[in-house]
Amino acid sequence: MSQLKQNPLIGVETANSSWNWLYRVAGVAALISLVIIPIQVIIFIVSPPPTTAIGWFTLFQNNKLLGLLAFELLIIVSNALAIPIYLAFYAALRRVSESFMAIATVIGLVGIVASFVARPAFEMLYLSDQYAAATTDSQSMFLAAGEVMIAMSKGTASHLSYIFAALAPLIISVVMLRSNIFSKATAYIGILANVIALGFYVPEIGIIFGIISVCPFLMIWEILIARRFFQLGRGISKEEANRIGGMSR
């Protein structure tokens, strides 16, 4: 029997599996990530990130918390929350395509690690404190180290984390289309959000694609997957969810 013909059984099995607590944790993680998105946007508007080491050091000395938030501390938290989400996706969809889900999970986890490397917020805070305490002659050393941190935040790890953060959910969303676990609407919105996200690398207008991918598409996707994870955590199959008006087909 093909995988596609087995799909009706997959939804029942997953909904009644021993992964319920993982699904619930993933649902909470998705909702927290949803809240983080507008907060981080507001922070960028209120406190645009400096472009030089001395600018960052000054920001940290004026307000350490704002400095950490401007250095995308909340994005670090959001990426950490993606760990249980990827694991929950693997648990739910592994019988649909174990190979593709394994690939997507590894890509997602590698992207998370890369995102941590690309956001050395606490390293910059440390350098800021050392700069403030240093003598005039030695301050140049800390400024140089600060410029290295800025280069890291815009370098290979940064691009890798962005690409992988779009590629992993894209693969997962394609697998969703073959399953009887998530709705087709969830799958299509996930595909649309992450394809648009990759448009970030289009010259001159890439930032527009990046913004559109997040608002509204990624935010809608977070709501849909959170809702489904909570249903899976309660042992509710997609058919049962549809019968009680839980999700559109």
CA-based nearest residue to 169, from 185, 200, 190, 199? 190
Claim: this prediction has a pTM higher than 0.85: yes
What is the structure's pLDDT at 61?
95
Average pLDDT per consecutive 10 residues, the chain (249 residues; last block may be shorter) = 40 58 97 93 88 96 95 95 97 95 98 96 96 90 96 94 97 95 96 96 91 92 96 77 50
d(CA 63, CA 125): 10
What is the structure's pLDDT at 46?
85
What is the structure's pLDDT at 241?
60
What is the structure's pLDDT at 6?
41
Residue-by-residue DSSP string for 200-231: GGSTTTHHHHHHHIIIIIIHHHHHHHHHHHHH
Q: Pull the structure tokens for residue 216.
A: 């509204």
Q: Pull the structure tokens for residue 164.
A: 């992988």
Helix (H, G, I), strand (E, B), or coil: what is residue 163? Answer: helix
